[in-house]
Amino acid sequence: MGSAFDPLVTATEDLAAVNSAPPLSNLTQEELKKIAAYKAVEFVESGMVIGLGTGSTAKHAVARISELLREGKLKDIIGIPTSTTTHEQAVSLGIPLSDLDSHPVVDLSIDGADEVDPALNLVKGRGGSLLREKMIEGASKKFVVIVDESKLVKYIGGSGLAVPVEVVPFCCDFTRGKLEELFRDSGCVAKLRMKIGSNGEEAAPAVTDNRNYVVDLYLERDIGDLEVASEAILRFPGVVEHGMFLGMATTLIVAGKFGVTVKDRFG
């Protein structure tokens, strides 16, 4: 951790002091992600079963948990990784792991998000791990979402980036077309996510940890009632799950140039 970074983490150590933390205007986006992640790990207590998120923000939380385990400040933690990537990171850091079959109730999950709306609804899955994330975070008593301020949007889809949908490979273009048609009024363009080859060109469909594909929905306008949209997406037989996480986050931690804020859904 760089020297300009340490005092800010210290400054956010007391939850009560969070909203009066100093401005973070000189920090990079990566440093802001780390601050949000470290803040979230303050919610972790010894003996907990922890959902370990996926992505460039969540990886800081996983690293911090392992650091506290090594220092003896946390004990008896069991991690439930939300992707093979996080599984590999956690194994390399020596965090004891399990799964939902053995631990169906998760005390707390910590994960990043691609978009967060004012009601704490999320878009997740631009990293492709949305299904396992939704299973594990949906089984969690608490779900703490960690983002830098660039992820805050007025409405779901509002970043102009994709709302991902995991689909079965079988006739995926049929499902892609159905999804595009469903949100035609919102100016939807639905694209099958492709892997980029070493020559920089699209090589083959990107494959999730569950051996499925991802259709990315690019929306020009608000899709309206999110619960209605969710039900409509899930009604297509070729759809496995979508990346809208509605009503799931219990706490949001945002690191931005004006400091760190902690927002509780029920607070």
Ligand X SMILES: O=C(CO)[C@H](O)[C@H](O)COP(=O)(O)O
Which stretches of the chain bind ligand X, using CB under 6 A?
53-58, 111-114, 124-130, 133
Nearest partner of 250 among 124, 99, 119, judged by Cα: 119
> Closest separation between CB of residue 47 and ligand X, Å?
25
| Least separation in angstroms between CB 61 and ligand X | 10
Q: How far is CA 23 from CA 64, 85, 116, 216, in A?
A: 23, 33, 21, 35
Q: Which is nearer to ligand X, 112 or 259 (CB)?
A: 112
Total Cβ atoms within 10 A of residue 215? 27
Residue 2 burial (C-beta neighbours within 10 Å; 0-12, 13-18, 19+): exposed
30 a catalytic residue = no
Distances (CA, A) of 135 to 81, 165, 249: 11, 15, 13
Nearer to ligand X, 112 or 199 (CB): 112
Catalytic-role residue among 133, 137, 166, 241: 133
Cross-strand bridge partners of residue 167: 213, 239
What is the C-alpha to C-alpha distance for residues 127 and 53, in angstroms, rounded to an integer?
11
Comparing CB distances to ligand X, the nearer of 54 and 140 is 54
Distance of CA 231 to the CA centre of its chain: 21
Can you give the three-state secondary structure of 193-241, one letter per residue?
CEEECCCCCEEEECCCCCCCEEEEEECCCCCCCHHHHHHHHHCCCCEEE
Backbone angles phi, psi at 217, to 5 degrees: -100, 120
Q: Shortest distance, CB of residue 53 to ligand X, whole angstroms?
A: 6
Tell me how far, at minimum, the Cβ of 145 lies from ligand X, in Å. Answer: 9
List helix spans (H) across 19-142: 29-41, 58-70, 84-92, 130-138
Nearest distance, CB of residue 73 and ligand X, angstroms:
24
Residue number, 130 or 249, with CB nearest to ligand X: 130
Residue nearer to ligand X on the CB measure, 47 or 144: 144
What are the catalytic residues? 133
